[in-house]
Structure 1
């Protein structure tokens, strides 16, 4: 005899995150953690102070050359990160 409310752990965790309105913050945190994997170690080592506020990703870039490169592929970075999250988490990237 199985219970009617049995569900996979993944589904239960997603439901929990949605009920307590933590899903968006969870997605933001996972994107920050995945930055080196998404952009590569070379870019990750030259960027710092990543954080997301109001659907904007803020990144400190020390190298002006790298900053220019990232500005040129800004829309691709946003697309890649939103695909990784599985929902629209980012609207804009701001380089500081």
Structure 2
């Protein structure tokens, strides 16, 4: 006997993610993964250990010169990342 309540795999995954309240965490992962796209490969080479916690993006920078440049561009970077995410995910950026 066939079930009439069939849905696609994509729909099932979306409803599961929504039920488990994982949307916010998945968007946080997307923001971290879009770091290279937002800033380019050159800057991404000097950064590591990028993570987002409670709206604060933490970035470890290996070069003091690059860190200084990023500090001056902090607000622009935050806006770019939020634009890529489609909503306000990053409220502050901390460079270490």
Interval containing the TM-score (normalised by the shorter chain) = 0.7 to 0.9
Q: Distance in 2 between matches of 1:12 and 1:76?
A: 37
* Residue matched to 1:60: 60
- 3-state DSSP of counterpart to 1:94: strand
In structure 2, C-alpha distance between the alignment counterparts of 1:37 and 1:23, rounded to whole Å: 21
- The alpha-carbon deviation at position 25 of structure 1 amounts to 0.7
CA shift in 2, pair 1:84/1:14, >3 Å: farther
Aligned to 1:31: 31
Aligned residue pair count: 93
Matched residue, 2:74 = 74
Q: State the Cα RMSD in Å.
A: 2.1
Unaligned runs of 5+ in 1: none
Once the two structures are TM-superposed, the CA of residue 19 in structure 1 deviates from its matched residue by 2.8
Q: Which runs of 5+ in 2 are unaligned?
A: none
2:47 corresponds to 1:47: yes
TM-score (norm 1): 0.81
- TM-score, normalisation: structure 2: 0.81
Q: Determine the structure 2 residue equivalent to 1:86.
A: 86
Aligned in 2, Cα 1:15/1:74: closer, same or farther, shift over 3 Å?
farther
SS in 2 for 1:49: strand
SS in 2 for 1:26: helix
